[in-house]
Chain A
């Protein structure tokens, strides 16, 4: 068996962490399995792709595979989706809204999450384990239960009796409220994943830095952040996808003017959902950005999330 050291395309790494040295003789049955799984995974979406080019009555009454026997491309669905809304620019506006909602939320949640992950991994304090369990346990809280209390807080502030703990910030319908909501809801997952990674960083490297007199802040900024880039990218892509496709939080906290594109596309089906055939085109369109972001951050993935705890 030949042992090859394989560099992944676009890998950033130098040094031993995460360097891929797989036994690259992937067996033929293994490859076949992979292709079978890929086929199964993409067929359903492929069906929608084909359907998006078919006329309404065909979409609703005949299977998409029939298109191969009776091909006829119509761009009506796309035309209707892309020009939806009273003005010409509306879809672009919703797209910008989505960006405006997603990017700051991702930055905020990943940033705060990394700080927390570091504290939970490398700083000693009483109750550390419980705090971690607590944060992760909050993953179980169904989002829907958190909507009303948070909305109450944003609409009217928090009071106990006549004492105002949080003033009325009037955050409803503004995009900042959405950032805070997304951050709060996304942090447990971010902290969970990042903590697992950060605590797996090579202990000796951190110890060495400490011996050299570096404080926590220095270690964090100079060591942990650069080493965590792969993990940060991975978590960022998960958060991005989740927030970009989020519907409920934007519905409640963002005003009509700040509605993300996902929400707009969902309403295209009409007051009684009769134009659901438009979701074929809408679904394809809404996939473009998350997939693009995924590709853009691919190179970080190969370095990987939990790569490289060099032990011993």
Chain B
């Protein structure tokens, strides 16, 4: 108990020191000539964050880029050969297409589900319970998620898989769709007798994306719910007066109003989708054509212990942030335009 107590004391002291330090800095900066004052004040507000992310994220990012030019033991310079290896590897195309599927399908479905729930649950008596139920998966740690979905997608020799149980129970369902109740869902890439081409994501990848959506939808729902409730009454009343139905109001008034929020949530889910490897690692380990760029990064770096190649894959992931941020900026700008702000 004393440890906890001392930790509390230390954290309180540390926080006070930090606040005190910032206050002093702020006051000091106020004595600068007017020209510098505003900018300097801004930096007082900003610098703890700036230092933290620079040290914690930016410098490691730069170091990663540096490491991508070294070999696996991080001792010899190898130029671009790691990049060459990544881009000429046969499996890379599939991995990249898988990642894109994660982003596209994951983001779109999460946003749609979040909006639908936020909209229809709004005003229901059981609204809190609904939101809690959707949010629950986010409260479960990774350790639990792997187990939970393992019990959904499991196949023979044990009958522990829920999906198999359900499809096996549906009368007349062909075996290729799971009708026999013993399909290996995480292994099979084709469905209904149709196999995808070698570099295209298979059904098993989409089943993993379902797990991702399951975990992300809660945050989306909560954020959208708040945003929807924030739409000014005046606008909604005006629509009513004009004779709009609930549906029309939603699509013509509410949605455009919260467009900025939608962009934000979509960006967050996209980034999460690009970085997520835990789900893949815990279920298929990237086998059977389900690997994503993030999973390859994790396996290369931590399982195979290859420093240079792992860093290269990390750089590929960073590089993907550029298009994401560009799209985000453009979309936000357009959203702001629409609201005339």
Contact = CB atoms under 8 A, between A and B. Distances in A.
Contacts of A279: 143-144, 147
A93 to B, nearest CB: 9
Contacts of A22: 122-123, 228-229, 236
Given A136-B325, A140-B275, A41 B233 contact: no
A187 interface: yes
A24 interface: yes
B117 interface: yes
A27 interface: yes
A62 B275 contact: no
A146 interface: yes
B32 interface: no
A160 to B, nearest CB: 13
Interface in A291-306: 291, 294-295, 298, 301-306
Interface stretch (B79-87, B216-224, B284-292): B216-224
Contact of A138 (B61, B135, B240, B260): B61
Interface string A64-104: 11000000000000000000000000000000100110011
Contacts of A188: 53, 57
B120 interface: yes
Contacts of A37: 113, 116-117, 134
B162 A45 contact: no
Contacts of B258: 306
Which among A43, A294, A306 has the greatest number of chain B C-beta atoms within 10 A?
A: A306
Interface string A269-306: 00000001001101100110011001100100111111
B133 interface: yes
- Size category, A interface: 35 or more
Contact of A25 (B30, B246, B294): B246
A181 interface: yes
A64 to B, nearest CB: 7
Interface of A: 1, 3, 5-6, 8-9, 16-27, 30-31, 33-34, 37-38, 41-45, 47-48, 51, 59-65, 96, 99-100, 103-104, 107-108, 111-113, 115-116, 118-120, 123-126, 128, 131, 133-142, 144-146, 148-150, 153, 175-176, 179-181, 183-185, 187-189, 191-193, 196, 200, 215-217, 220, 230, 234, 238, 241, 245, 247, 257, 262, 265-266, 276, 279-280, 282-283, 286-287, 290-291, 294-295, 298, 301-311
Contact of B159 (A48, A63, A262): A63
Interface stretch (B10-18, B91-99, B194-202): B10-18
B237 A3 contact: yes
A18 B58 CA distance: 37
B139 A42 contact: no
Contacts of A148: 60
Interface in B15-66: 15, 22, 26, 30, 38-39, 41-43, 45-46, 48-50, 52-53, 55-61, 63-64
A134 B133 CA distance: 35
B124 A34 contact: yes
A112 B116 CA distance: 34
B227 A149 contact: no
Interface string B288-321: 0000001001100110000000010010011011
Contact of A247 (B143, B275, B297, B311): B143
Given A291-B132, A302-B226, A6 B123 contact: yes
Interface residues of B, number: 114
Contacts of B57: 138, 141, 146, 184-185, 188
Nearest to A189: B268
Given A187-B49, A307-B227, 13 more contacts: A21-B236, A22-B123, A23-B123, A27-B246, A59-B160, A65-B162, A100-B8, A125-B38, A180-B52, A216-B41, A286-B143, A287-B144, A309-B341
B137 interface: yes
A217 B26 contact: yes
Contacts of A27: 120, 246
Contact of A142 (B59, B113, B317): B317
Nearest to B297: A142
A116 to B, nearest CB: 4
Closest 7 CB pairs of A and B: A304-B226, A184-B56, A307-B230, A283-B144, A140-B321, A30-B120, A290-B139
B27 to A, nearest CB: 9
Contacts of B298: 144
A247 B146 CA distance: 14
A88 to B, nearest CB: 15
B321 A139 contact: yes
Contacts of A115: 22, 45-46, 48-49
B329 A133 contact: yes
B162 A47 contact: yes
Contacts of B185: none
Interface in B182-221: 214, 217, 219
A185 B321 contact: no
A262 B143 contact: yes
B233 A124 contact: no
A200 to B, nearest CB: 8
B222 A234 contact: yes
B232 interface: yes
Contacts of A303: 226, 229
Contact of B131 (A43, A301, A308): A301
B13 to A, nearest CB: 11
Contacts of A306: 223, 226-227, 230, 258, 260-261
Contact of B140 (A25, A141, A283): A283
B327 interface: no
